[in-house]
């Protein structure tokens, strides 16, 4: 997510740019964890004691409507948010719940083959692999 581009789009659309909203944008853009609203709230509430969970949710909803993030669900942990909209694979640890992005340069041939065989015009994809992350694998 390009925070400056999001800020410019919000300004042009007449939205207020509060310090809390900017902090949410920055935290989300910097995260590689696919954070939940609760995770973002906990990360930001020390710097912004007056921030509410409702503010985090409404900001995430706005970003989702703008097409800047995608809401994803990987487990019973609830909704998580994906700021990386480029083609990639999500690696999901089945033990600790950590989610990592893995660049998937070779996705295009697969998408093209699916489009050719199905007749669909592919607009995007979401690929997830489930297993144990290196930390959990060491413990197991």
Q: Which of 57-71, 83-97, 100-114 has the lowest mean pLDDT?
A: 100-114
Q: Where are the domains of the chain?
A: 3-82, 88-139
Structure token digits, residue 68: 């800047």
| Sheet strands (E) in 12-78 | 70-73
Q: Bridge partners of 88?
A: 103
136/129 Cα distance (integer angstroms): 15
pLDDT at residue 111 is higher than 90: no
Class of domain 88-139: alpha beta
* Helix-, strand-, coil-residue percentages of the chain, each rounded to 5: 45, 15, 40
Q: Which helix (H) or strand (E) holds 61?
A: helix 53-66
- How confident is the model at residue 109, as a pLDDT? 83
12/9 Cα distance (integer angstroms): 5
| Domain 3-82 and domain 88-139 have a common topology | no
**CATH placement of domain 3-82:** 1.10.10.10
- How confident is the model at residue 75, as a pLDDT? 60
- Give pLDDT tens digits for 12-36: 999 989 999 999 999 999 988 889 9
- Give pLDDT tens digits for 30-87: 988 889 999 999 999 999 999 999 999 999 999 999 989 988 876 666 788 988 887 7
CA-nearest of 109, 74, 70 to 91 is 74
Instruction: Give the mean pLDDT of 88-96.
Output: 89
């Amino acid at each position: 997510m390009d925070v400056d581009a999001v800020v410019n789009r919000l300004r042009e659309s007449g939205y207020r740019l509060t310090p809390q909203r900017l902090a949410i944008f920055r935290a989300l853009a910097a995260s590689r964890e696919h954070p939940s609203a609760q995770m973002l709230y906990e990360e930001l509430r020390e710097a912004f004691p007056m921030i509410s969970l409702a503010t985090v949710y409404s900001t995430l909803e706005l970003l989702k409507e703008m097409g800047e993030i995608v809401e994803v669900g990987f487990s019973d942990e609830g909704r998580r948010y994906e700021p990386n909209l480029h083609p990639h694979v999500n690696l999901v640890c089945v033990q600790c719940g950590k989610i990592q992005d893995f660049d998937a340069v070779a996705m295009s041939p697969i998408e093209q083959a699916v489009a050719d065989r199905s007749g669909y015009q592919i607009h995007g994809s979401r690929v997830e692999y489930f297993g144990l992350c290196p930390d959990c694998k060491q413990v197991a």
